[in-house]
Structures are given as structure tokens and as C-alpha cells.
Amino acid sequence: MLDLLIFGVVDIHTTIHTPLKSGILNDISEFSERFTGSALHMAINASLLGVNVGIICPVGRDAVGLLDVFRRYSIDYSHIILSSEKNPNLIDFHASRRQYTLYYKGARGDVTPKSIEREYLTKARAIHICFPDENLVRKVINLAKKEKVFTSVDTSFVNANADIKFTQDKSIKGRNIIYMDFKKEIRCNKLDIPVFIKDIPDEGKVKDAFMAAFLSRYIKSENLGHAALYGSCAAYFCSQSGKRVL
């Protein structure tokens, strides 16, 4: 039985620095690759907080070492979606005068409703979704609700009718909306939860730590206020560490 199942994308983040002059063979002065993405960061954070966590994500043929990461943090990867395509890749390309950000979807195209096994979904107490495909996300949520599995969604990827929505968009209304403003406050329904962060070097990593901690506590207590305060503390510690995980 899983406490938490994460459905999302693990990207390869590639950084390239080159002068990019025309008519010559340009040397690359810096080239780096690392695994990244909200799904990965949340799964690792949840595991570090003692949660039995699994992940569903597309994995391309060039994602060398990703399974080692899953094993290192005791993340169940038995139902990842293996693809003959290359892995999704976020590319930061730095030329001498300009910077470009590129994205290659790759193996994401192999994720379909048929590639997600219903029996695996029912093994989880909660499912968090951070996959950028509205139709697919809605199908997963509907299936989970039929099986009475708790669902949450990060609206920066897609706004779907989950039991809980994590958002930084003030225009989103409804019950069980967790509004995250790490410079001011966190609001859930009518509760105002304090934040402790003064400087946010990377808001994405702080958000992932908050959501992972929130869900880690909520699936045990089912108390929004306690879960949000626990998440706020985790966000603070993550902001102080300079790392993407707790």
C-alpha cells in the first residue's frame, strides 16, 4: 500500500554555454545535465519525510541513472512508462549575448490513459498530479475518485477538479484551495498560515517542499491547518538549505 503516488514528469535539465559565433566551430565552455521537475522533487521530499511513495512518469531511453535515483530514495517506480523516445528535456542555452530556453517533450507523448494501470492507482491513499495534460489529468482524477482515492493537483500544470488544489493564482476559487504566497502567507479556506521565509532563491523548490510536506501530514491527520503549517515549516527549511530537497 502506498501513502502517496506522484503522477508527473521528470525532466533532464541541460545547461549549455557557448559564444555562438557564425562561421566557426563553437566550443562549449559549459555543459551539464541533471534530473529535475516537480514530480521528482516532491517524491524525494515525501520519502525523506517517511512517506511510502510511488511515481508514475515517462522515462526516455537516455535517462541514464534515473532509476538509481528512485532506488536511492526508496521511491516505487514499478509503473513508470518506459519509452523508446528520448526523455523530456529542459534546455537552457546561453550564448554570449542572449539566453534561450527550449523544451523537448519526447517521451511525454507515450503517456496515455491505457499506460496508467487502474490497480496501481487503487494502491495509493492519495494521488498528487503535476502532469501538463488537461484531458489526461481529468481522466486520472475521475478514476481515482471512483476508487475513493484522495487527489490533489498543482494548478501551475493544469487546473482540474481534484479534492485539493495547490495554486499561486488568486483568481482560482472554491473549497480546499491552498493558496501559496511564500513572501506573505498561505491560505487554505479561511485559515491564514504563517510563512517564515525572508528570501526565496528558488520558489519552485520551496513550493515542492511545501506540497510534499503538506500531503505527508494531511494523509495522516486530514487536518488542513496542521498540514499547511507543517508544509510551511518544510518550505522554510528547504529555503535555508540551498537544495531542492529537504
Q: Residue 210: exposed, middle, or buried by beta-carbon count in 10 A (0-12, 13-18, 19+)?
A: buried
Residue 183 has pLDDT above 90, yes or no: no
**Beta partners for 192?**
187
Most confident of 146-150, 196-200, 201-205: 146-150
What integer pLDDT is reported at residue 203 of this predicted model?
83
What integer pLDDT is reported at residue 155 of this predicted model?
97
What integer pLDDT is reported at residue 244 of this predicted model?
65
Give percent of the chain with pLDDT exceeding 70.
98
pLDDT-derived band of residue 204, with 50, 70 and 90 as boundaries? confident
Q: What is the pLDDT of residues 90-144, one digit of tens each?
A: 999 999 889 999 999 999 999 999 999 999 999 999 999 999 999 999 999 999 9
Residue 202 has pLDDT above 80, yes or no: no
* Angle value at C-alpha 243, between 157 and 64, nearest 5 degrees: 70
Half-sphere exposure of residue 232, counting CA atoms within 13 Å on the CB side? 24
What average pLDDT does range 132-158 have in this prediction?
95
pLDDT-derived band of residue 50, with 50, 70 and 90 as boundaries? very high
Q: Residue 54: exposed, middle, or buried by beta-carbon count in 10 A (0-12, 13-18, 19+)?
A: buried
- What class, spelled out in words, does domain 2-241 have in CATH? alpha beta
Phi/psi at 186 (5° precision): -115, 130
Q: What is the pLDDT of residues 69-86, one digit of tens each?
A: 999 999 999 999 999 999
Report the 10 Å Cβ neighbour count for 16: 18
Report the 10 Å Cβ neighbour count for 105: 14
